[in-house]
Structure formats: structure tokens, C-alpha cells
Amino acid sequence: MKEPDKITPELVRDHNLTPAEYNRIKRLLGRAPNFTELGIFSVMWSEHCSYKNSKPILKLFPTEGPNILVKAGEENAGIVDIGNGLGVCFKIESHNHPSAVEPFQGAATGVGGIIRDIFTMGARPILLMDSLRFGNPKKQNVKRLISGVVGGISFYGNCIGIPTVGGEIYFDETYEGNPLVNALCLGIVRHDEIIRAKAKGIGNPVFYVGATTGRDGLGGASFASRELTEESEEDRPAVQVGDPFMEKLLLEACLELFKTGYSIAVQDMGAAGLTCSTCETASRGNTGIEIDIAKVPKRETGMIPYEVMLSESQERMLVIVKKGKEEEVKKIFDKWDLNAVVIGKVTDGRLMRVKDNGRVVAEIPAKSLSEDAPVYHRKVRKPDYLKKTEKFKLSDVQEPKSYETVLKRLLVSPTIASKRWVYEQYDHMVQTNTLVLPGSDSAVIRIRGTDKAIAVTTDCNATYCYLDPYEGGKIAVAEAARNLVSSGARPLAITNCLNFGNPMKPEIFYQFKKCVQGMSEACRRFNTPVTGGNVSFYNENPKGAIDPTPVVGMIGLIEGLPVTSNFKNEGDVIVLLGDTREEIGGSEYLKVVHNLKTGKPPRLSLDTELALHKVILSCIKRRLIKSAHDCSEGGLAVTIAESCISNYEMPIGAIINLSKIQFNRVDSLLFGESQSRIVITCPEKDVHEVMGIAAAHKSPLYVIGEVQGKRLRINGWVNSSVEELKDIWWNSIEDNLFG
């Protein structure tokens, strides 16, 4: 790359900066920026780094709580206390745009980046999860994206030796040109070993550690802050290239360094690379920082300062250590065969000063980059399409002729079908801590040396958010909590990844604001504060915006044995907790059978939901429950069928009688998606005790059947072999991709 002779309006526009923002930069500097400084401002003031459009709305989230050790926004990731002097460090982030352009490397480096966010805090990563969205899997380009993304995730996680224990995958045409790839990582850290990212101690050396710097990932933060177009293929150089074996070395070297007490501050070189890591550590510590990029290890010749500062090459960290400990630090990284070079020092004056072989090439107040980005209050307007979808009436839909056929169609729908083809490519047993394998309501990992376990889930029904953003936001949090309590976990906190279209469009910002309002209300009611995450705007392609997709990653604490979703023993009684109403708006039944995405999604009462949680947790604590599975996509019939067939080796049948539940239409009874419902099984001797617990919490309960035989029978509407249901459910995604 050649440095331009002067800064022109066209160059400013190419850097995704408005004329007003450029004038603001000139006022902050007291002069016009040079080319390197323009690039630095462009990435740090991008939505991806500054949250300039979302910040006012994000303030709605609750972030305080008695168990919160590190709050949202304070550091690279939040940390929650789980007792025994231990904290859980976890976060979810997106890598959507890179994955759309280069699916394998986009997904792989998304995994690598979120892992670094966790071990930067001093935590050892113990699990990965992912939340993925694709278009129709029968289409050739979507097949390419799915194979690339799943391959990238499995490659990075398997090679580095961190289990990918679960996640979720949805399919909808809205994601056809813009897939979503959200990666979650969780680690464990002792309270007294938490590492911060605040530069302190004037004169302390600044180390560059890890891989060399190249031109890959150049301008990635800016790339993620604009819409995808037909020309986005030309942005391929903005996609980073990952090396999980290098990251494994970096992880172990950093954790070894942290044990010495020599490290003062650590920051991952993620989005915006060296730029972000230098200015943010200085800003947090109210200090200055000075580096010389001539000392940065490079793998390409002729790189100009602009390229070195904006490169997003992977597996690199900035480490500030105690002065006088330089040789000891170098020895640690030499042991792991990694670069460890002093490139600068902590200074006073609060400036980020960048030199190139002694010549100053950028000099900017650190807080101007991390805290002085403009903040916008965008207009909101209720989308016109809601006027039509809200008029939907159940009477407009004909009842199907065969409910058994509908059940089978839903079980092969890729959104509902088993994700076996995906998770079998992930090593989910490495580290030997996994207690509940992928495929249940939530993943469960034991915490070594304790009697505790952590349950984790990711959830979001984007169709609900499209049809009613406020209610959809509430349900995203509620379903995550319901999945955790179904496993026996008490919900603790959430991280979120807010995936939306262009915030400049009032209809999109309406979706964003309403979703956050609904999520915030649910978080307060469940006492699950938000510990961090990220916002991913501009998820649009020439055909339009994605459905609003605020993904919730939630953790919960298990102090006992976890519960799984599959039916266990012949003779166990099947019980439905929760009421079933005529709610098929936004359901998979409407989409799959009637080709409709319309209506109002189910209504959610947070008080009813919380009462259900208390019933389930109380029953599990008393060891009354053999299985628990929340009702979600596909409704009651799909939930029961999944409980019959989710244990591949031992599918088991059930006889169901729903005559005690009031209904007007069979399709809404079987396939409606009313909230706050969980199907459980228990031995017959324990039914009355379960009924008593439910009555004490005023939670509706219906005894609906018995685990029995090799067929699923539901009244006179369904009579199917569980082997047949198992085969179509387990193999659907593979058949779609390769059939």
C-alpha cells in the first residue's frame, strides 16, 4: 500500500467517516489528521469498536448484581462469582461479515478472537459454544457457507483443545446473503488472579507477544460496520487468517506469565489490532502510551505505519509488565517459541504516540479514540409490515388433514431437526469435563475440584423478534433461563450478541430498541445481569436486512446432578407444566406447513415464567424428575417427540392423552408455541409431590401420559414408530446438505 499525498473528502468517505465526524477529529487534534491517524480514527470510531449508535440503548441493560466481579464494559469480558474463590469469565461476539465473505477463516478467527478475550482476563477457557444462522440449506451457496463455517469452528476449537459443547442453528431465507456466526467462550479464574487491561506505572515496558503482523484483517472493524454488497468479495483481504496451534502456545505462555505477577495489563489485539490494544489500555489507566512500530515483528515487507496499526492479524497480544522484569518475561515466551518484543512504554500525558523508527507518525489523545467518539440518538419508526402481520387471524388458517404428517414435516425442518451432523464434527469431550453432551436443553461442564457445574445455553427466536421485537426480546432471555432450569441450573447472568440491520434506518432501530427493552425487563425479573457482549449492525445484503436476532448466552450454576431432556424409563409419568393457549403466530408450524411468517408471537408473563423456574428447580433439588425438556419451536408435539428420540441409542415411546387440556383447534394444541411450558417425567410414586410443589407456586400442571413402548401415540392424531421419527429427525440436515 502507498500512503496518499493528502486527505481528500473521498478518502474520508472511504474510511466510513462522515464530514461531521472528520471535522470533530480535526477539533480534537487541533489540526488535520495524517493518513495513519485517519485510519486509526476510522476503526476506533466504527460502530464495531465505539458503539456510537447503540450506546444510549445499551444503558437500559441491568449490569449490577451481588455476584458480578467484573461488570460489562470494564474489561475484555465480564466475570461472575460462583463461590469457592472462583469466577466464571464468559462472553459472546459476532464474526458475521468475515464469515459471509470467507466462511472457513471468518468462523475460525471468530473462535480464536473470543478465546483471547477470555484468557486475557487470566481465565483458562474450558468451553466454546456457537449460535449460527443460515438461509435455505438446499441452496448451493448456503451449503458452501454452512460447510465453511462449521469447518472453521471445528478446526479452531478442536486444534486448540477446547470443547465445543453446544449452541444453536436456525435457518431462514432472511440470512441467505448474510449468515450470522456468533461464538461464545467461557473460562474459570480465581478471584485473586483476575487480570486487568489498564496501563499503569510510568516507564513500564509494553510488550508485543505472539504471532507476526501481516496485511490480513486490514480494516476489519470498519468492514464490519457497513452493509454487505455484491462487491463484498473484494473485501476478502479484510478477513483474518487464524492459526489455532499458535493460539494454544500463546494461551499457555500468557497463563504462565500471569502466575508470576509480572504483568500489569493485558489486551488482545482483536478488532482494530494494535490500535485498539494501545489506546484502550492507556485510556482505562488514565495514562499515555508510546510504541515504535519498527520493532513490531512483521511477516511482510514494506508495510507502512497505517497497515501495521490497522492489521488484525491473529494470535497477538499487548502485555504491559513491571519494569525490570523484561528478561524474565522474554524467557517465558522463548520457552513457548513465541515473539516477545518490547515495542514501547507507559507514559504520562495521556497521549497515544506511535513512532516509526523514532519518527512520530501518529499522536492522539487516547481517550479521544476510546471515549470521544460521537454518540448518536437514532430515529425510530414502527415498521409498516407489522400493520399487516398483526392483523393475522387463526381462523384464516385451515387445519391440516393429517397431524402426524405435520409432525414429521416439522421434525425434518432444519431449524428443528437434530444438529448431529454439526456437533459430531466438534470435539466436545476434550478436557474431560463435559457432563451433558450437545443435544440437550443446555450444555453442562463440571468445575474441577468442586461439586459445582456450569450450565450454558444460547437462545433467540428471531421470527418472534421480527413480528414483535419487544416480546421477542423478552422471550429470548426467558427461553435461555428455561433451558438452564430444565438442566437443574440456577440462572446467574447473560452475555448477548445483538445482530441487526442498518441502524440508520428508523425501522431497524425500532427493532433494536424494542428488543433491548424486552430483554432488559426479563433480565431484571430473573436477576440475570448483562456482563458484556457485542452489537453487530449492518447485517444487510442487497435483498434486505436480516430478522432482528439478539442472541442470549446465559450461564447457570448446578450444585448437584444435571437433568437431561430425553425420556428414561418405561412407566415414568409424563407431566406438562404450564398452560397451552391458541398461539401459532410466528410458529415453525405456520412457516413450514403454511409458508407464513406472520401473526403475533406468543405472549410471555415473566411472573408465570419465574414461578415455573421455581417449580422445576425445587423438583430437581428433591430428585423427583428424570427428564425435563422446554417447549419451544414446533410446540408440544415436537417437544414430546424429541424427548422420545433424542437418545439415539435408546429411543423410547410414549402414550399421550391431552384431553384434560382445553382447546378449540388441534393444530394450536399440538404445534402452538405458548411460552412457560416444560415437559417432565417422574416415577409414578413422585407425581403427587410434584403436583404439590406446582400448586404451592400456582403453576399449572397436567398429567398427560406415560413413557411406554416403541411408538409415539398422541390421542388419535399421531401414531408413529419412534424409530421412524428418530431417523428423519437425526438425518435431516445431512440429507439437506448432501442429499
Domain that holds residue 735: 381-417+563-739
**Degrees, nearest 5: CA angle 91-96-97:** 135
State pLDDT tens for residues 429-446.
999 999 998 989 999 999
Q: Are residues 289 and 399 in the same domain?
A: no
| pLDDT for res 224 | 47
State pLDDT tens for residues 513-524.
999 999 999 999
Average pLDDT, integer, range 6-29: 95
| pLDDT for res 229 | 55
Is 78 domain-assigned?
no
Q: Are residues 333 and 205 in the same domain?
A: yes
* Residue where a domain stops, chosen among 312, 347, 373: 373
| pLDDT for res 73 | 87
Domain count, the chain: 2
| pLDDT for res 738 | 79
Mean pLDDT of the chain: 94
Chain-centre distance of CA 442, in angstroms?
14
Q: Are residues 401 and 340 in the same domain?
A: no
State pLDDT tens for residues 706-724.
999 999 999 999 999 999 9
Q: Are residues 241 and 349 in the same domain?
A: yes
Q: Which residues, other chains included, contact 424 with Cβ-Cβ below 8 Å and sequence gap of 6+? A: none
Is 299 domain-assigned?
yes
How many CB atoms are located within 10 Å of the residue 20 CB? 9
Q: Which residues, other chains included, contact 686 with Cβ-Cβ below 8 Å and sequence gap of 6+? A: 624
Q: Are residues 210 and 336 in the same domain?
A: yes
Q: Are residues 390 and 306 in the same domain?
A: no
Nearest to 681 by CA among 573, 605, 579, 598: 573
Is 180 domain-assigned?
no
**How far is CA 24 from each of CA 11, 41, 177, rounded to the nearest angstrom?**
16, 11, 35
Q: Are residues 253 and 392 in the same domain?
A: no
State pLDDT tens for residues 142-178.
999 999 999 999 999 999 999 999 999 999 999 998 9
Q: Are residues 212 and 353 in the same domain?
A: yes
Q: Are residues 365 and 385 in the same domain?
A: no
Please give the span between the terminal C-alpha atoms of the chain, in angstroms, as a whole number.
46
Average pLDDT, integer, range 118-128: 97
Q: Are residues 260 and 282 in the same domain?
A: yes
State pLDDT tens for residues 316-342.
999 999 999 999 999 999 999 999 999
Average pLDDT, integer, range 371-385: 95
Is 354 domain-assigned?
yes
131 forms beta bridges with: 168, 182
Would you report the helix, strand and coil content of the chain in percent, each value rounded to 5? 40, 25, 40
Q: What is the CATH number of the domain that holds 686?
A: 3.90.650.10
Strand intervals (E) in 400-548: 434-436, 443-446, 453-459, 490-499, 530-536, 540-541, 544-545
* Residue where a domain stops, chosen among 339, 373, 407: 373
Q: What share of the chain has pLDDT > 70, as a percent?
A: 97
Q: Are residues 336 and 397 in the same domain?
A: no
Is the pLDDT confidence value at 581 over 90? yes
Average pLDDT, integer, range 250-258: 97
| pLDDT for res 227 | 56
Nine cell digits for residue 45: 470510531
Q: Is 71 helix (H, G, I), strand (E, B) or coil?
A: coil
The alpha carbon dihedral of 619, 621, 627, 633 has a sign of positive
For cell 480514527, name the residue: 41
More confident residue, 76 or 289: 289
Nine cell digits for residue 566: 430425553
CB–CB of 538/502 below 8 Å?
A: yes
| pLDDT for res 230 | 53
Is 170 domain-assigned?
no
Average pLDDT, integer, range 676-681: 98
Is the pLDDT confidence value at 226 over 80? no
Burial of 716 (0-12, 13-18, 19+ CB in 10 A): exposed
Average pLDDT, integer, range 549-557: 98
State pLDDT tens for residues 395-425.
999 999 999 999 999 999 999 999 999 999 9
Is 388 domain-assigned?
yes
| pLDDT for res 236 | 45
Q: What share of the chain has pLDDT > 90, as a percent?
A: 91
How many CB atoms are located within 10 Å of the residue 8 CB? 10
State pLDDT tens for residues 490-500.
999 999 999 99
The residues annotated with a catalytic role in the active site are: 48, 95
Is 117 domain-assigned?
no
Least confident among 454-463, 538-547, 607-616, 694-703: 538-547
Is 476 domain-assigned?
no
**Degrees, nearest 5: CA angle 436-87-483:** 35
Q: Are residues 413 and 317 in the same domain?
A: no
Q: Is 350 helix (H, G, I), strand (E, B) or coil?
A: coil
Q: What is the DSSP letter of 352?
A: E
| pLDDT for res 219 | 57
Nine cell digits for residue 291: 510504541
- Per-residue confidence band for 472, with pLDDT thresholds at 50, 70 and 90: very high
- What Rg, from alpha-carbon coordinates, does the chain have? 26
- Per-residue confidence band for 231, with pLDDT thresholds at 50, 70 and 90: low
Is the pLDDT confidence value at 666 over 50? yes
| pLDDT for res 661 | 95
Is the pLDDT confidence value at 703 over 50? yes
| pLDDT for res 5 | 85
Is the pLDDT confidence value at 634 over 90? yes
